[in-house]
């Protein structure tokens, strides 16, 4: 195993891995790293952005789910990934913000589908979600995004039509995360963020080389 990897274990066969190219002690606020989900030996990329940004979002959603504050909005009566694709299709192809059947909140003067607040990470044609189910349990979900590319007309011409694809939609993975595991993840995440903050402070004190 790469000693620079950061691992969040779901169970004995599944884990989330942040793939660092360098030791955590030198990671700064703008350091980008891929995030992968491993199911036994199968690897799937689920994130690729600033590690500080990705883990800050992870910390927030972990706290909210542990406090039972992320129960799905009452309007979300189908799988969240299915509705997300409907929202994207409406926005990019029908050139309208509101799709019938979806509920929107206004944020900084802009309307956003209410399901977006449960979004954690995303990469390529996958989206990652974190929320509480109706029983208050913590849910980790990975869902597919239409591979035709909503804003790419050339790509869409080479792919299955959206209407055909959405008929066979199903989530990639749904897992219940025990409270104990979620608490461990939160402690681990906050520890990493504290290390990054310390790295930034040290670099500023050292000044330019």
- What's the pLDDT at 207? 67
What's the confidence (pLDDT) of residue 165? 93
- Using the structure block, give the residue that is written with the tokens 């310390």: 198
* DSSP-assigned states of every residue in the chain: --TT-EEEESSSSEEEEEE-SS-GGG--TT-EEEEEEEETTEEEEEEEEEHHHHHHHHHHHHHHHHTT--BPPTT--S-HHHHHHHHHHHHHHS--S--TT--EEEETTEEEEGGGGGEEEEETTEEEEEEE-TTS-EEEEEEE--TT-TT-HHHHHTS--HHHHHHT---SEEEEE-HHHHHHHHHHHHHHHHHHHHHHHHHHHH---
Tokens coding 108 = 């900084």
Other C-beta atoms lying within 10 Å of the C-beta of residue 135:
9
CB 116 within 8 A of CB 42: no
Q: Under a CB-based contact definition with an 8 Å cutoff, are residues 50 and 35 in contact? A: no
Chain centroid to CA 204: 31
Residue 131, strand partner residues: 139
Burial class (CB in 10 A: 0-12, 13-18, 19+), 44: middle
Cα separation of 52 and 77, whole Å? 33
Where exactly are the structural domains of the chain? 1-67+178-209, 71-176
Provide the residue-wise pLDDT of the chain in tens; the chain has 209 residues: 455 789 999 999 999 999 888 888 878 777 888 999 999 889 999 999 888 899 999 999 999 999 999 999 999 999 999 999 999 888 776 555 677 889 999 888 888 899 999 999 998 899 999 999 999 999 999 999 998 766 566 555 557 888 999 999 999 999 999 999 999 999 999 999 999 888 888 877 776 54
pLDDT, residue 75, reads 95
This prediction's pTM: 0.89
């Amino acid at each position: 195993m790469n000693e620079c990897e950061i691992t969040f274990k779901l169970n004995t066969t599944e884990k989330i891995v942040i793939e660092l190219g360098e030791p955590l002690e030198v990671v700064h606020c703008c350091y980008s790293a891929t995030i992968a989900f491993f199911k036994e030996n199968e690897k799937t990329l689920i994130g690729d952005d600033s590690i500080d940004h990705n883990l800050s979002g992870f910390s927030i959603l972990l706290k909210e789910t542990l406090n039972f504050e992320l129960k799905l909005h009452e309007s979300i009566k189908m799988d969240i990934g299915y509705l997300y694709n409907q929202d994207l299709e409406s926005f990019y192809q029908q050139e309208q913000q509101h799709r019938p059947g979806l509920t929107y909140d206004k944020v900084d003067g802009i309307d956003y589908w209410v399901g977006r607040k449960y979004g954690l990470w995303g990469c390529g044609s996958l989206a990652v979600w974190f929320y509480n189910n109706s029983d208050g349990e913590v849910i980790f979900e990975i869902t597919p995004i239409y591979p035709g590319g909503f804003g790419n007309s050339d790509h869409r011409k080479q792919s299955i039509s959206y209407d055909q694809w959405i008929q066979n939609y199903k989530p990639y993975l749904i897992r219940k995360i025990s409270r104990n595991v979620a608490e461990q993840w939160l402690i681990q995440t906050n520890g990493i963020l504290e290390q990054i903050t310390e790295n930034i402070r040290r670099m500023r004190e050292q000044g330019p080389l």
